[in-house]
């Protein structure tokens, strides 16, 4: 049973528009959330994160929103660029001693020029 879900396997967006990637989780004990970006034939790279004590975190074109009551977070990319085309993984941590990270299945974003 997946604890972190990304229900949209793929998303296509026009260049310059907003991309919204969604993520849902089941464990209310998760206390930290991260987004990773992955290009083909490369390892994932960290994009942005948010602590459970916040509801928003912004970094340039990327903003992550957290709704704890709904156990939902989203990643907004504005404006979307062709170079943003990649697979995006949502991840959550329990903050245990060794900080294991639970990843979602990923959403493949295509930004169309």
State which residue, 17 or 54, has the beta carbon closest to other proteins.
Answer: 54
Q: What contacts 37, CB < 8 A, 6 or more positions away?
A: 44, 45, 47, 84, 86, 87, 88, 89
Q: Which of residues 91-110 bind other proteins (CB under 8 A)?
A: 91, 93, 95, 97-106
Q: Is the Cβ–Cβ distance between 35 and 91 less than 8 Å?
A: yes
Contact stretch for other proteins (CB under 8 A) within 10-18, 37-45, 67-75, 76-84: 37-45
Binding span for other proteins by CB under 8 A among 12-20, 58-66, 68-76, 90-98? 90-98
Which residue carries 């709904």 as its tokens? 70
Per the CB < 8 A criterion, the answer to whether 81 and 75 are in contact is no
Q: Which of 49, 52, 74, 110 binds other proteins (CB under 8 A)?
A: 49
């Amino acid at each position: 049973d997946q604890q972190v879900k990304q229900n949209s396997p793929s998303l296509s967006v026009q260049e310059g528009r907003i991309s919204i990637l969604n993520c849902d989780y089941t464990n209310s004990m998760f206390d930290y959330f991260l987004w990773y970006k992955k290009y083909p034939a490369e390892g994932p790279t960290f994009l942005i994160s948010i602590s459970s004590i916040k509801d928003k975190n912004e970094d340039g074109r990327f903003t992550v929103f957290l709704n704890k009551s709904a156990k939902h977070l989203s990643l907004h990319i504005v404006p979307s660029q062709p170079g943003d085309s990649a697979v995006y993984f949502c991840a959550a941590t329990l903050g245990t001693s060794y900080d294991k990270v639970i990843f979602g299945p990923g959403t493949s974003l295509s930004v169309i020029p």
